[in-house]
Amino acid sequence: MTHNGLMRTVEEHRRAVADLIAPTAEVSLPVEDAVGHALAADLVAPRPLPAFDNSAMDGYAVRAADVGSATPETPVTLPVAADVPAGRTDGPALEPGTAHRIMTGAAMPRGADTIVQVEHTDAGTTTVRIDRPAAAGRHLRRAGEDVQTGETVLPAGGGLGPAQIALAAALGLPELTVGEPVRVLVLSTGSELVEPGTELLHGQIHESNGPMLVTAAREAGAHAVRRHFVADDEDTFLTVLDAVVDAGAADLILTSGGVSAGAFEVVKDALAARGVEFTRVAMQPGKPQGTGRYRGVPVVTLPGNPVSAMVSFEVFVRPAIRAAMGFADPGRPRLTARLAESLTSPADRAQFRRGVLDRVAGTVTTQGPPGSHHLRWMAASNCLLEIPVGVTEMAAGDPVVVWDLEA
Ligand code: AMP
Ligand code: MG
């Protein structure tokens, strides 16, 4: 992407935000609490999986040689010398010419080399009639066939979901070491804002950026809290900011509103001379942006229009938060889809449109106009379309890069 003189590129601003947030410390969490976090180090298997040879079927552990001649017409009958339910730790060895009744997951008796599934028997408990032969090794789960001791089973920087949690638990690990959540403080500005649940006077609106950004940050894995929004008054804004900084509980202060070119731009007015750089980024929506430090604490100032704030969060803040938490791949998955209809885009800016991605058809349909106040259309979307700088028109069927917001 090229620099167009006056505006920062998306990539330049993305790096500025990423550089602002330092990597978090590592913390050991009970495995279940580690879900949604990134592994701090490679997970190396301390033991094999399975830990011992065991049966993959309910049936009978036997020696293949003892049942080789079994057919429905000439069944083999063996005495059942032992019962081996799952969890039995003192199962005896199998004597030649006998069978052990065995359940799925139970340890294979020494001396047995195959399992006859119960469906191929009369399910007897004192003797068992077997009417099929079984080759050696049938229905056996071998020790280490899934995981061997010392293997790296999960990489550092990988995200932890239920399947990864299950693997760690199966390997006997009570805790996992992950990157600590970034602590995000969300603060909305605007004299027009009132809390949802309160009746509006003409000219007022319900505050929605705060709930949006605090939940977006939590969804990204951060520990996010919201301060009550403040009016467009510099002193009030700075008083709240000072309280936040004094409390020392924020790794990142995320504001919305008050950064564009109008009058009463409280965030800009208060912070321009106090460590925050205000810039214009070559993107639509989300042109006015700011980054810096207020009394040492990283600050990212997002524009107030709800769609601009959301897109800015996705493009700049979310990947920075996740990188700081140790995610090796902190961005949303991107893919290429075919446009369902034509669109236009400004030449000098990257455009991020909201859309619905049809993963099966590989097509994407834009949702709503480009305008940055169309919250309803953003709520109907599952992806962002990224139309690069320099592209002014795209036709139906053209390939377009899509950010998958649901993955
Ligand atoms: P600003 O960036 O402060 O000029 O705000 C741009 C637009 O976004 C205005 O229409 C604001 O009313 C709206 N807006 C700003 N902050 C919020 C918020 N917290 N919730 C909902 N809308 C907002
Ligand atoms: Mg405002």
Q: Average model confidence (pLDDT) for the chain?
A: 97
Low-confidence ranges of the chain (pLDDT < 50): 1-3
pLDDT of res. 1: 40
Q: Which residues line ligand 1 (CB under 6 A)?
A: 188, 190, 192-193, 205, 207-210, 229, 256-260, 303-306
Cα 150 to ligand 1 centre (Å): 54
Closest ligand 1 atom to 232 CA: 3
Cα 253 to ligand 1 centre (Å): 17
Our mutation pick for probing the ligand 1 site, out of 187, 200, 201, 205, counting the most ligand atoms within 8 A of Cβ, is 205
pLDDT of res. 5: 59
Cα separation, 78 vs 100, whole angstroms: 9
DSSP-assigned beta bridge partners for residue 284: 351
DSSP-assigned beta bridge partners for residue 61: 100, 115
Domain at 36-49+146-179: CATH code? 3.90.105.10
Number of other CB atoms surrounding residue 222 within 10 Å? 26
pLDDT of res. 296: 98
User: Hey, what amino acid is at 181?
Assistant: P
pLDDT of res. 57: 97
pLDDT of res. 2: 43
pLDDT of res. 396: 98
Cα 123 to ligand 1 centre (Å): 72
**Ligand 1, atom 23: nearest CA belongs to which residue?**
304
- CATH class, domain 3-24+181-324, is alpha beta
Ligand in closest contact with the CA of 301 = 1
State in Å, rounded, how far the first CA of the chain is from the last one.
26
Whether CATH 2.170.190.11 fits 54-141: yes
pLDDT of res. 226: 98
Domain layout of the chain by residue ranges = 3-24+181-324, 36-49+146-179, 54-141, 334-404
pLDDT of res. 6: 78
CA distances to 141, 194, 304 from 209, in Å: 53, 12, 8
Cα 88 to ligand 1 centre (Å): 65
Cα 150 to ligand 2 centre (Å): 56
Q: Which CATH superfamily is domain 334-404 in?
A: MoeA, C-terminal, domain IV (2.40.340.10)
Cα separation, 121 vs 383, whole angstroms: 55
